[in-house]
């Protein structure tokens, strides 16, 4: 087995592996633009057979707000359960299980959580993939005091960073801000004003980004406004059928279920002990 950095030439093999694992959607390894985004902004590696004739696994890590996020780890179905996934993970995170500041959203594949646990990550809440008709949220919802302003991705990323770093000593550095703005532009690609800032009067309480069919991310440190901000942001989207991923303990989960939203799937958030992922935010399972 050979583990090496991936390049443009590996995009077709990454697509083949992803399709074999049923990953056909945008923002997965079958989406060449997604892989190119990871190649440009993160570290992408592949495993290939010793003869070098075939790529059998791929994975990627990326900086997210000063932490290292594992965005993807996929092993060809014919080569699973032989140590390839764990081996690739050890190359992507080479400093051992004590290395701080790492997280991922683990799939429920039986081999996924064990290899992340051995890499020093502990599970916390489920990240619920939810979808539904946003028009069912149009009734009284407690979000009437909030206004949603649609802005460009860079402005929303800057507002997000201010909200996320408020009250923290480790205020984000320039690299964090540039990285977050790149993620926002990626999520909002193809849309002119994809950024969202949710205001309570003049005060921003949440910032995030819309995709063509949902909410990719929403930072909202304020527990009281967490559910109203999600509902206000969903109501501001164009498409009637929308999707988003919410932490199990997020206060909006019950409101959305009551409005007829479904839980289509879930991942498990996992992180090193020093990382506490806020349960009042909306997350992208791939990019945080």
Ligand X SMILES: CC(C)(COP(=O)(O)OP(=O)(O)OC[C@H]1O[C@@H](n2cnc3c(N)ncnc32)[C@H](O)[C@@H]1OP(=O)(O)O)[C@@H](O)C(=O)NCCC(=O)NCCS
Binding site for ligand X (CB under 6 A): 21, 73-75, 80-86, 106-107, 109-112, 114-115
The three-state (H, E, C) secondary structure of 154-206, written as one string: HHHHHHHHHHHHCCCCCCCCHHHHHHHHHHHHHHCCCCCCCEEEEEECCEEEE
CB of 52 to ligand X, least distance (A): 19
Of 10 and 160, which CB lies nearer to ligand X in the complex structure? 10
Of 89 and 163, which CB lies nearer to ligand X in the complex structure? 89
Of 61 and 84, which CB lies nearer to ligand X in the complex structure? 84
CB of 118 to ligand X, least distance (A): 7
- Which residues 6+ apart lie within 8 Å of 67 measured at CB? 101, 102, 103, 275
Of 81 and 174, which CB lies nearer to ligand X in the complex structure? 81
CB of 97 to ligand X, least distance (A): 14
**C-beta neighbour count of 212 within 10 angstroms:** 14
User: Cα 78 from chain centroid?
Assistant: 27
Of 119 and 177, which CB lies nearer to ligand X in the complex structure? 119
Distance CA 21, CA 283 (A): 23
CB of 102 to ligand X, least distance (A): 13
CB of 270 to ligand X, least distance (A): 9
Cβ atoms 187, 211 nearer than 8 A: yes
Residue 62's SS3 state is strand
Of 24 and 144, which CB lies nearer to ligand X in the complex structure? 24
User: Cα 247 from chain centroid?
Assistant: 12
Residue nearest to ligand X (CB): 85
Distance CA 71, CA 194 (A): 22
CB of 204 to ligand X, least distance (A): 32
Residue 50's SS3 state is coil
- Give me the residues paired with residue 60 across strands: 44, 72
């Amino acid at each position: 087995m050979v583990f090496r950095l991936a390049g443009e030439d590996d995009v077709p093999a990454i697509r083949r592996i992803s399709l074999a694992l049923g990953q056909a959607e945008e923002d997965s390894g079958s989406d060449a633009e997604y892989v190119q985004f990871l190649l440009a902004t993160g570290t992408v590696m592949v495993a290939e057979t010793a003869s070098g004739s075939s790529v059998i696994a791929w994975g990627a890590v990326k900086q997210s707000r000063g932490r290292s996020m594992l965005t993807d780890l996929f092993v060809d179905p014919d080569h699973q359960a032989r140590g390839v996934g764990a081996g690739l993970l050890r190359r992507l995170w080479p400093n051992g299980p004590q290395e701080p500041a790492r997280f991922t959203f683990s799939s429920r594949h039986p081999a996924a959580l064990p290899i992340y646990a051995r890499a020093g990550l502990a599970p916390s809440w489920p990240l619920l993939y939810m979808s539904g008709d946003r028009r069912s949220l149009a009734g009284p919802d407690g979000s009437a005091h909030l206004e949603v302003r649609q802005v460009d991705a860079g402005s929303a990323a800057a507002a997000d960073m201010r909200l996320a770093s408020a009250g923290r000593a480790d205020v984000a550095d320039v690299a964090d801000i540039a990285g977050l703005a790149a993620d926002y532009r990626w999520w909002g690609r193809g849309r002119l004003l994809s950024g969202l800032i949710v205001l309570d009067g003049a005060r921003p309480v949440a910032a995030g980004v819309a995709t063509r069919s949902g909410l990719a991310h929403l930072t909202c440190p304020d527990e009281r406004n967490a559910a109203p901000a999600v509902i206000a942001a969903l109501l501001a989207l164009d498409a009637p059928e929308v999707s988003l991923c919410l932490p199990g303990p997020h206060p909006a989960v019950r409101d959305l279920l009551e409005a007829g939203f479904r839980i289509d799937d879930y991942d498990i958030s996992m992180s090193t002990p020093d990382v506490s992922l806020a349960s009042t935010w909306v997350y992208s399972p791939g990019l945080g």
